[in-house]
Amino acid sequence: MATEHAELRALVKIAGLFDKRPRYYAYKMLLNAGLLILGIAVLFVWDALWIRLLDAVFLAFVFGQAAYVGHDAGHRQITNSDLGNEFIRVFSSFFIAISRTWWISAHDEHHKNPNNLGKDPHTRIPLMAFSRDQAQGMGRVARFFIRFQAYHFIFLMMAEGVGMRTTSVGFLLRSGLGNLKKAEELIIIALHFGLYFGLIFSVMSVGQAILFIIVHQVFFGLYMALVFAPNHKGMLIVDDETKLDSLRLQVLTTRNVKPGFFNDLWYGGLNYQIEHHLFPWMPRCNLGKARLIVKKYCEDHEIPYCETSSVESWRQILRSLRGVSASV
């Protein structure tokens, strides 16, 4: 019932978990800035290729951490000020070179329609299918690749970083340069890559620079996909005919990854995905406390609450992908 979602929201509100945590986010942003400076400094101090490639992997992690801050600002988790959240979104967009307008539009649609094959953008991935009906509705070439999707999924994930950039730039270009906000976003992305390529090619040979860029972008995409895939892949798939109230829609289509220091850092709080979907405006540092309330509420109301280890989440994802592959 919709009233159950409201009742659960009231319990969480009483606990003070919707209160903003600006000091936490100030710490996170300063830490990310420090890690970025460290990663750049390594490029100037050491010229050994293996150190620079390790640094590329490290900087992929730093970019991912910055993406989490942009994600949270997109949900207005950081401050009650729209201007403050927008400023952080602009900075994050410059940091990782992804359109904030495109991201918010697609991500909000995902939150409203999780795992809905007709509406959730995260279920529309080239050469992938997440249900038998979706697979059987595709063309012959796509169905051929879907037979092996449990194996090529990892390679598609490596392209996630590049894919997000090209999709967001395409979104901005389709809007036309007459749209001042979107023209400004294109300029921000262009500035990012101007500095990015300028810095890399100024301290490395062409061969080293190309290798560094490939490693950095592949690992950034891989990091993002490894974090996002466990959230919903292998969980309940729905369509417009599915009859679920808002609470059950969000809980049954979503999976948590068990909490802990490493997981909380690695996933940027998105391992509490059920709580995040129920209350997307909640500061991520409060999600762990909300989990205790939500989990008990689901148990009391006999609502299945999925929480697994990271390894088990991937077992479930690959099992689901193989099941769809077997249908084509």
| Least confident stretch, 35-39, 62-66, 175-179, 304-308 | 175-179
Summarize pLDDT for 218-253 with one digit per residue, the tens.
Answer: 999 999 999 999 999 999 999 988 999 999 999 999
Residue pair 272/296 in contact (Cβ under 8 Å)? The answer is no
Residue pair 51/42 in contact (Cβ under 8 Å)? The answer is yes
Q: Is 307 in a helix, a strand, or coil?
A: strand
Summarize pLDDT for 175-218 with one digit per residue, the tens.
Answer: 766 678 888 999 999 999 999 999 999 999 999 999 999 999 99
Angstrom distance (rounded) from CA 194 to CA 147: 40
Domain containing residue 284: 2-325
How many folded domains does the chain comprise? 1
Summarize pLDDT for 51-66 with one digit per residue, the tens.
Answer: 999 999 999 999 999 9
pTM of the model: 0.93
> Which residue bears the tokens 């050994």?
48
Segments in 233-260 forming alpha helices (H): 246-252
